[in-house]
Each structure stands twice: as C-alpha cells, then as structure tokens.
Amino acid sequence: MTNEANTQAPQHEGPTPERIFQALTAYQATAALKAAIELDIFTAIAEGATTAAEIAERCGAAERGARILCDYLTVGQFLTKQGGRYGLTPDTELFLTRRSPAYLGGMVEFLCGPHLVGAFQANFTESVRKGGTAMPEQGSMTPEHPMWEDFARSMAAMMHMPAEAIAGIVGAEGMETCKVLDIAAGHGVFGVALARHNPRAEVYAVDWQNVLPFARRTAEAAGVAERFHEIPGSAFDVEFGDGYDLALLTNFFHHFDKPTCVALMRKVHSALKPGGRAVTLEFVPDEDRVTPPAEAAFALIMLGTTPSGDAYTFGEFDAMFREAGFARSEIIAVPPQHVIVSYK
Amino acid sequence: MTNEANTQAPQHEGPTPERIFQALTAYQATAALKAAIELDIFTAIAEGATTAAEIAERCGAAERGARILCDYLTVGQFLTKQGGRYGLTPDTELFLTRRSPAYLGGMVEFLCGPHLVGAFQANFTESVRKGGTAMPEQGSMTPEHPMWEDFARSMAAMMHMPAEAIAGIVGAEGMETCKVLDIAAGHGVFGVALARHNPRAEVYAVDWQNVLPFARRTAEAAGVAERFHEIPGSAFDVEFGDGYDLALLTNFFHHFDKPTCVALMRKVHSALKPGGRAVTLEFVPDEDRVTPPAEAAFALIMLGTTPSGDAYTFGEFDAMFREAGFARSEIIAVPPQHVIVSYK
C-alpha cells in the first residue's frame, strides 16, 4: 500500500475550477465556523480537550461530528492538528475562546443572523438586477429594523479596538470641553470610549428607540451613565442641539446615497461648535474600488441590504464633506477600516 | 486631499479577526458568484461588455448592481479591472463563459441548490451534535431524493475531465471485452466515456428511477444509447448480473459507513469476472485527514447531508476493499480527487 500520490500537493498549470467550486460552497465555511462557535469548541480546546473524543464530550457533540468539523477547521487554518490532537491558532485563541477579553464569537448573531443571511439567499441576484436591496420595504433602513438590535448586541466587541483608536486620534484625554454627538450609536461603544477617556465628556447618543437600550447598557457598564444622554429617532429627523466638540459617524454613511450623506453632514456641521470635528469611521476603498480587499468587498453588503448605500472612496467623502461646509478632511488607516476627521 | 494611507496594504502583526470575519461572511461570496453566473456576467464580458454600464445593459441589471458585484468579483480574483473596464481571468474565461466547451456554471443548481444549502443553514450545528445529517429522514440518502436529479443535471460538466482520466487509466481503448457496471451513474458521464472510447463496451447503469433518465440522455447525446442499459433501484438491493470487466464507483462510497462500503464492494466483487477491476473515484485525504485541502474539507458535506458518510483515506479504502475480497488496490491522483483501481 502506497499513498505517495496523496502526499504531494497537486501541481496545477493553467486554469482550474477549484476557486469557483470553493466560492460556490463558501457558505459551508460559514456554517462550520458558526457551529464551532455555537458549540464553543475553541474554549474546549483552550481548556485542554484536544482530541475529537474529548472535544465531543466537552461540547455535547458526537465524536464523528467533532472530528469532521475540527478537521475542516484545520484545513481552514482555524485549528492546528498534530498526532490526532487539535490546537488553537493565535487568531482563534485570542478572538474565539470565551475567557479572552477580546472574544468576538458573539459576531455570529449579526453576521450569520437571519436578516443579513436572508439578504444573500434567494434575493441577492434580484438585488443586482434592481441595484438595491430586495429585502422588504427599505431593507435594513426600515425604521426600527430589528437587525440593528442584533447588531448592537453582537458587534460591540469588534468595535472596542477602533473606538480606542478614535479616542487617541482626536486626543480625547486632552480636550478641555468634550460634548459628543454619537450618531447611530448602536452598541454605544464609540461614544462611551470618549466618556471613559475624558471625565468632562457628555455623550448624546442618537439611534432608534429599540436600539438605545443597548448603548445605555454599555454606558452603565463603563460607569459613565450619568454623562450619557439619549436622542431617540432617525438622525435625519431629530434635533441634535448644538455646541458639539465632536460628532461621531461610525459606519453610518455607507447606508445612504450621496445627497443623503451631504444633507446629514450639513446638519452635523451646524450642530458642531466653531473648530468642532466630525469623525467618520468607514470602509474606504481606494479610487479603483477593488483595493484594499476588505474595504472594497464591503459594498456588496450595502447592495444586498440597503436601497442605495455604498462604500465611498476618500475622494468622494472629501467632496461630500466640503459640499456640506467642512473646511478639510484627513484620513487615517485603522485596519480594516479608515477614520476621517473633518474640520468645521 | 491625500489618500496615501489607503494605498498601502495594512501591515498586521500578531492576531487579527479578519479571517474569522471573512469566514462568517463567506456565504456572501457564494451569493455573489451565483448571481454573476445567473446573470451571465462572464459571458457578457467575453462578448465585449466591459464597463459596469455595458454589463448592466447586457445582463438586465442595474448599473449600481453590476458595478458593486463586479468590484466584489475583482476582489475575489474572478475578474480583473483596469481603468474602469472589467476583464476575465483564465479560470472564469474557461469555466464560466457559456460558449466555452468547459462551461461549469450549471454547478450552481446543485452546489447552491436548496437541498445542499439547506443542510448548512439552521441545521448544521445540530448535525455536529448528532454526528450526522439533521435533514429529514436519511438526508440525501433517502430513496429517490430529488437532490440527485439536481446533481445529475448540473454536475455532469464538472465530471468530463475525471471521466476521461479514468478511461485513460483503465486503458479502455485497448480492452477486448468491456462490460461496465456504472454504480450510481447519475449524469452517466463516467460509463458513457468508456462507451465512447471502446466500441465494444456495454454499460449497465444503476441509479434511482428518477435519476436514470439523465444518464440515458448523456448516452443518447454521445450516440451510445444502444449500448446503455438501465438497472433502476438501490445499488444495495438490485441484481447487478455478472461477468463485468469494470465496475465504476464514482463519488459513491463517501455517503456510507465502512460496513456498508464493504458489503457493497463484496457484491461488486462477485459481479466482476476474474481479473476484473473496480474503479473508485473519491475525495481521499491523507492519513492526517487535513490535507490536501479540497479532499480533506469534503467530509463536512457528508456530515451535513448523510447519516454516516465520510471522506476515507487510502489506508481505509485499501483495508475495506481487501476485506471485500479484492487482491490489491492502486491509487492515482486526478486532482482534485483520486482514482483507486482494485483488482479481483
């Protein structure tokens, strides 16, 4: 018995259908990682269950199920395998074991939830035909859409790093006054980070009434609830008030077309005090719109879930923000996104 | 306005959540490629529609839809983009334009069809718990399951290359007698390839009654219908007859547990004439079960769709086939799969 043919990687010359096959079955990769997170397999391995049998027992799975799933995750480089024992990679150890402070497993609820997945099933080809979401009404832009509750509940952990980055970029700790308008606050992580870094900061959070409780909980957990204020409703309709030092627009503009973005930014401009700054966190592709990969690919989610959202280039943002009255904008890379600071 | 930060790829050191995020949204890659195939975007580009506006017009899509989809496909390396014009890659030109003889776009019907996708949605975590499909009844192993009609209809094109490889491996053209038992014939491509290569070949195709018409159509299209014979029913129940020179077992064993494979191979053994050969086409991972990637990953589909199927190693096949009475087996790489020839 020889298995030599098996031990050498196949050498392909010329075209092969492998990448096409891989993309057409990519939903299986989602299902596999989602199952591993739901069964808490990474935590089990971190706690010493490293064979398929041990993992199965710890996670309440069948041994065959654990073995096939863990082999698949090893192929995908989410696990290692040596002598029948599975191990974590640096990525999965940090982000997918429950005891890690950087645990991100909760993302499955939003990223693999019914609203987002639904937009990419039967309906997606129709979205391309139509040039906008084929979801009912305005897709995720429908007022008080429950998808934003999933978002606020499950994406907070992913945002701690960029929230800290923004606090550093704006120099929050050195600001003498720090009145913050947090537009589409969601989980509240961005405004609350500023409140943590500056004891004088007062945060005014705008979001749907059904979403604001999530932001309030974040403020409570950080001990800044008394400096956290709620403005329930659509950012396009509510009164912001004025005299703001900072306005946060984190992952908001990509849901809308350009005239809508300009109109909102005009409203933000008048709410800011002289010298105030608008801080935008966005997926900002290069002018070619196909690099960098993660930022360029993001526009597809807007095609599937919104009537007319997009991933705008910095050239487009700069033009929109000037039209809205801002003097100038600066862009800073906060991988995998960018921060744009715009000066009134 | 500067966009320098955007033009350099982010340099990551240490863990990042990017690959986790990518896997949890991988279903979007499936939806995008499926939409492009359904709208026939690759053919449109091949025929000279290369801007988003031209592609949109040709494919009956919105320009925004075509632009965002084509940018996404460029990120995924299924298209190129230069100066606002999209182009094909060698893979997409050969496999996804309709005029190509190697067109494989029909695969979406099976790979992205309701049965296979359904097995990886709400149910998949339950499959891991259970150690087998959470689909109703026996999953894809339920008699006359309509999934096998989708399979026969849409996967034939993908199988022409391995079918030709098998005809070469067994030396079909030089065989003096060539009575072929084609088990789970499906689209019929494997048996029909032998009939094309050997004018004396007589092919006996076993499959469900609802699937055999697809194999017959393949035989008719190849002009070998008068040498194509049907044995409708389960391979485990029907009478094969005897005196076969070759038995084809293409992508069949992976649906079953080992005792079932051995029992079937015993039945095949007695149907073969002395010196006859069983020819198995399979996903055959190395003994570590995590390489090569495509073959190791395949077991996941069996976990999701069958009660107890698997991707077996050559060591396991060799042992099963010996137990069933075969003298020896040889393995030959036919990327992305392997062929095993077993001698009576």
Which residues of B are less than 8 Å from A308 in CB distance? 64
DSSP state of B172: G
Report yes or no: B341 at the A interface, CB cutoff 8 Å. no
Chain-chain contact of A17 with B66 (C-beta, under 8 angstroms): no
Chain-chain contact of A24 with B18 (C-beta, under 8 angstroms): no
Contact between B155 and B104 (Cβ < 8 Å): no
Residue B278 C-alpha, separation from nearest chain A C-alpha, in angstroms = 16
DSSP for B12-55, please give it: --S--SHHHHHHHTTHHHHHHHHHHHHTTHHHHHHTT--SHHHH
Q: How far, in Å, CA of A82 to CA of A77, rounded?
A: 13
* Residue in the structure block whose two tokens are 């609830």: A225
From B341, B292, B335, select the one nearest A7 (Cα to Cα). Answer: B292
Residue A275 has phi, psi (to 5 degrees) of 80, 0
The pLDDT value given to residue A4: 36
| Per-residue pLDDT reduced to its tens digit, B295-333 | 999 999 999 999 999 999 999 999 999 999 999 999 999
CB-neighbour burial class of residue A8 (10 A; exposed 0-12, middle 13-18, buried 19+):
exposed
Question: Strand B328-334 to strand B272-282: parallel, antiparallel, or no bridges (unpaired)?
Answer: unpaired
The pLDDT value given to residue A215: 96
Window A:265-304, CB contacts with B under 8 Å: 284-294, 296-297, 299-304
Q: Enter the tokens of residue A323.
A: 């039209």
Which residues of B are less than 8 Å from A40 in CB distance? none
| Per-residue pLDDT reduced to its tens digit, B146-169 | 888 888 888 888 899 999 999 999
Q: Of the candidates B65, B301, B338, which has its C-beta nearest A6's C-beta? A: B338
Which residues of A are less than 8 Å from B333 in CB distance? 5-6, 8, 10
Taking the alpha carbons of B94, B96, B97, B98 in that order, is the dihedral positive or negative?
A: positive
* Residue in the structure block whose two tokens are 């609203």: A115
Count of C-beta atoms within a 10 Å radius of residue A130: 16
The pLDDT value given to residue B28: 97
Mean pLDDT by 10 residues, chain B (344 residues): 37 79 96 98 98 98 98 98 97 96 92 91 91 85 83 87 97 97 97 98 96 96 98 97 98 97 98 98 97 96 95 98 98 96 98
| Per-residue pLDDT reduced to its tens digit, B163-186 | 999 999 999 999 999 999 999 999
pLDDT less than 70: residues of chain A: 1-13
Which residues, in sequence order, are CB contacts of B49 under 8 Å at separation 6+?
Answer: B55, B57, B58, B59
The pLDDT value given to residue B236: 96
Count of C-beta atoms within a 10 Å radius of residue A223: 11
The pLDDT value given to residue B12: 52
From B240, B342, B242, B230, select the one nearest B282 (Cα to Cα). Answer: B342
Give the predicted TM-score (pTM) of the model.
0.92
Report yes or no: A343 at the B interface, CB cutoff 8 Å. no
Contact between B167 and B159 (Cβ < 8 Å): no
